[in-house]
Amino acid sequence: MAEDDDPGELNLALLCFIAYRAMENRVLEDLAAAGFGDVTAAQGRVFARIDPDGTRITDLAERAQVTKQTAGFLVDQLERAGYVRRVPDPRDARARLVQIAERGQAATEVAGRTEAAVEAEWTHHLGRASAVQLRQALTRLREITDPYR
Amino acid sequence: MAEDDDPGELNLALLCFIAYRAMENRVLEDLAAAGFGDVTAAQGRVFARIDPDGTRITDLAERAQVTKQTAGFLVDQLERAGYVRRVPDPRDARARLVQIAERGQAATEVAGRTEAAVEAEWTHHLGRASAVQLRQALTRLREITDPYR
DNA sequence: TGACTTAGACAGATTCTCTTACCATTATTA
DNA sequence: TAATAATGGTAAGAGAATCTGTCTAAGTCA
């Protein structure tokens, strides 16, 4: 992660990170203000990848790019805090599905509102056309940077 | 960090994170292959923000968004591994400047080449115009997402 | 000079993450 | 069908990264 000699010309990835971090902080902040102050960033990164009908630990681990053990550890915490529940997977007796619980749903709504608000700010700052292009570019980039999904 | 209901329409920040992570992994991989396998991601994130003429711990902490203690801890490790050195700051006897040492310079060159290669891949995938727009958008976004610099 | 601030380090605890090892279930195959 | 391999998940333990609190030394300013 070296820096360009020319200051102000950071590499694309670092620029991505700065934006990402800003959003994460805002979401965590608003969650805390809404009474969900016990969610950590690591928990949030796993939580954000749960499908509406539930997701297996193994898949969550893959998506969040952590080991199964780490994903299980974070899901344990989310479960104890009431954000998710584990139910047996009807299609495979070995597996369990992590589903979003009531408290998790409430937190999702708060987070979603913040995300929308921050995206609106970004769109306002960039201009509509530029923001749309940004999303398109990042989505296309995902084709070669995200091995999952 | 909630996910959109519509799959495939992840929020902008998550898209940023995916790209960032891909670059970080590639750089760390190539560094390891070049004999710099002892650098961790956290160390790299601090290292990447050292100015050519050296930077104070406090500033590094601010830029990397960690506490001074964490920055000092990571710089300790980088120093022991020979990537950086600490020298007294001639302008302030309390402060010390973290500077890139020989080994760090060599690693910087490897990382720089990887970054350039990955950016070239991205540019190729997106097309030149789109890649330029992406950089412009992210740079402008930095104005409202990066409190430092 | 004295009060306050800033730069940095040390100690300790917590959180996150990994590796290794293991169990249960499912899939494969001889 | 029985043995073997692969998959989903957990457990234990260690290491890495991070924080809060506290401390010293040095600079700033009234």
Q: Is A148 on the interface with B (CB under 8 A)?
A: no
Residue A1: pLDDT band by 50, 70, 90 thresholds? very low
| Per-residue model confidence (pLDDT) at position A146 | 82
Ranges assigned E (strand) in chain B: 55-56, 84-89, 92-100
Mean pLDDT of B105-128: 96
| DSSP assignment of A75-123 | HHHHHHTTSEEEEE-TT-TT-EEEEE-HHHHHHHHHHHHHHHHHHHHHH
Residue B5 has pLDDT above 70, yes or no: no
pLDDT in tens, B44-82: 999 999 999 999 999 999 999 999 999 999 999 999 999
* Structural domain B12-145, CATH architecture: Orthogonal Bundle (1.10)
Nearest Cα residue to A20 out of B147, B90, B51, B17: B17
Instruction: Show me where the domains of chain B are located.
Output: 12-145
Structure tokens at B6: 């519509």
3-state SS class at B117: helix
- What is the rounded average pLDDT for all residues in chain A? 91
Q: Give me the residue from B2, B7, B115 closest to A2, CB to CB.
A: B115
Q: Which of B 34-53 lie inside 8 A of A, CB atoms?
A: 44-45, 47-52
Q: Give the amino acid at A113.
A: R
Pairs from B11-14 (Cβ < 8 Å, separation ≥ 24): B11/A23, B11/A115, B11/A119, B12/A19, B12/A23, B12/A119, B12/A122, B12/A134, B12/A135, B12/A138, B13/A19, B13/A20, B13/A22, B13/A23, B13/A24, B13/A115, B13/A118, B14/A20, B14/A48
Cα–Cα distance, B79 to B103 (Å, whole number): 10
Instruction: Calculate the angstrom distance between C1' of D11 and CA of B127.
Output: 49
| Per-residue model confidence (pLDDT) at position B11 | 83
| Per-residue model confidence (pLDDT) at position B1 | 44
Q: Is B73 on the interface with A (CB under 8 A)?
A: no
User: How far from chain centre, in Å, is Cα B125?
Assistant: 23
| Nearest chain A CA: its distance from B117 CA (Å) | 11
Name which of B11, B125, B144 to mutate to probe chain A: the one with the most chain A Cβ atoms within 10 A of its Cβ. B11
User: How far from chain centre, in Å, is Cα A46?
Assistant: 7
The greatest distance separating any two alpha carbons of chain A, rounded to the nearest whole angstrom, comes to 56
